[in-house]
Structure 1
Amino acid sequence: MHSLQFTAQSSSNGMTERDFTVDGVPGVLWSPASPAAGSAPLVLMGHGGGNHKKHPAMSGRAQLLVNGCGFHVAVLDAPGHGDRPRTAHDEAEIAELFRARAAGEPEGPIVVRYNDHLAQRAVPEYRAALDALQELPEIGPDGPVGYWGLNMGTAIGVPFVAAEPRITAAVFGQHWPDVLAEKAKQITVPVEFDLQWDDEHISREEGLALFDAFASKEKSLHVNSGKHKELPRFEAHSAVRFLARHLATPATVPA
């Protein structure tokens, strides 16, 4: 049994936002302000490196899923991010990343190593959060669950989905294959994958190698021109439609 505690609540733009902790790990749960009767699907999201659970990318995606599909959406602060203190290891890795960036050296090896360390801590936390959230009557133990995370959210999400049979579908993208490819081979649920063709950090070959590693019979590759941080916003709408197809009834799939 995991300890779920709600610590704050507010409502705006058709969503109810509830801050919570699970075993001391801070998170946020967004839900419809006027929910339909019964339970609704849950989407767990992972935020990017250097960001936090309520980053505009997270709240914006949540609004699309909550208002467009009637889903619940939850995000945890990753270790060393948001409301969580940094360890000495966190500080050392971040300092090394900034040093490499200032020197014009490749960032990938440092990011891959550090994200793998964070994922080893975060995956058990996401599994505990899922256990706790499924005890809520508005979510329930048997409803479909999706995952959506890019960048560091993929670094955490791939091992999480590989270990978690309750996940029905997942959206990933924009990460190196080095550590993740072996875990991706264990994933068979439908996957949508985002890749920037002109990414200055992740080569096309590396991005394609991670996509190719997924064992899913249904997997879609979405490639757009542009650099790492230039992923088009319309890809968020595509991800919502993808998750709706696999988590919702046909009548609730957004156009």
Structure 2
Amino acid sequence: MGKLDLKGKVVVIAGGAKNLGGLVSRDMAQHRTKIVVHYHSDRTKNDAEETVKAIQDAGSEAIIVQSDLTKVENVKTLFKTAKDKFGRVDIAVNTAGMVLKKPFVDTTEEEYDTMFGVNSKAAYFFIQEAGKQLEGNGKIITILTSLLGAYTGLYSTYAGAKAPVEHFTRAASKEFGERGISVTAVAPGPMDTPFFYGQEGEDAVSYHKSASALGGLTQIEDIVPIVTFLATDGWWITGQTILANGGYTTK
């Protein structure tokens, strides 16, 4: 019970077009899965198409779905599309997120609502719908942030909106466990992607590079094997948030 052979399984990947999500998609293709690549913005369409081509070139099947997952109906449609196309869903991975680095006193209500919509609400209903639609012994994995283990300012809405997902993960794992479904979260350190550099000045980049015990920023290649492990041999891990950051922070 639980351990999953990935060949022929169906994987839904939110934010699966580029950066970490894109590499998760491409890695899953190496295991001969069938993949639903979700993306949000029109700016990401070309990345999504390139990722699907890479998946197909690897001998796997894939489709693209564009939608705003802060709208619950779109989350439901994402999973329905996967089941309509492939007949089932076995693994759900949510890599989507939005970062804001801003002083607490300067944050607007609109920014708060946006950040919690993307990082908390969408994550909640993604886990909920996965819990409804996954086959028995499925896997649900959410990407969070190692800032959950940091004592820092300026990320109140980013880390604050990600923080509830730790409890969503625990609660869902408890409720879905009787069906053999593992629910986990992976919290990388600052990752060497455009997602990181858009918010940080040179001094902050230098600090983050020097802060990890193993040295440097987290690479997306460091995180993908953890996602794959949780979806296979690591199935017995559930209800946990794994801080995968090279010693950047801990709890």
Q: Which TM-score applies when normalising by structure 1? A: 0.45
Q: Which of the pair is proportionally richer in helix?
A: 2
Higher strand share: 1
Relative to the length of structure 2, the TM-score reads: 0.45
